[in-house]
Each structure stands twice: as structure tokens, then as C-alpha cells.
Amino acid sequence: MASQIVSPLPGTFYRRPAPDQPPFKEVGDTVAKGEVIGLVEVMKSFHEVTSDAEGKIAEFLVENEGPVQAGQPLVSVE
């Protein structure tokens, strides 16, 4: 069953914990509930986005450093 992980807040989406580090997750990786899948930067601070789904990551719906709105799907999980 496919589901989506949405951003809880508006800001800028980052797939890596820091510019010189690998992404939290890649397409094909498994993800568990509560795992961090990216960061959203807003108001000069970074907030971890955690998964409320579990399964395999099918697609990232927002590119790294892309703008996101609250409630916008970031990742689809199957």
C-alpha cells in the first residue's frame, strides 16, 4: 500500500544532515516510523522530518533545497 510522508511546516527541504554528508535516505531504502527522512529549514533553524509511514521509499516528491508548504507530500512510500 502506498503512502506519503508530508512536511509538517513550510520552509526549505534538505535531504542531507549537512552539505558534506550523504542523504538521510535514498530511493529504494526502507524507512521505519519515527526515522528522519530530511530537514526543513524555517526561521533560521532546522527541523527534522520524521516518517509516519513504514516501507520502501518509492520517490522523493520534492528535490533537495526545494521550497515546501505545510502538508505538502515529500516522499512516497510503498
Which residues lie near another protein (CB under 8 A)?
6, 8-12, 41-44, 47, 67, 69-71
Nearer to another protein, 30 or 64 (CB): 64
List Cβ neighbours of 20 (8 Å cut-off, separation of 6 or more).
none
Nearer to another protein, 26 or 65 (CB): 65
Residues in the chain: 78
Q: How far is the CB of 25 from another protein (least distance, A)?
A: 22
Q: Minimal distance in Å, beta carbon 15 to another protein?
A: 16
Query: What sign results for the dihedral spanned by CA atoms 34, 36, 42, 45?
Result: positive
Confirm if 12 and 40 have CB atoms less than 8 A apart: yes
For another protein, give the closer residue by CB, 10 or 22: 10
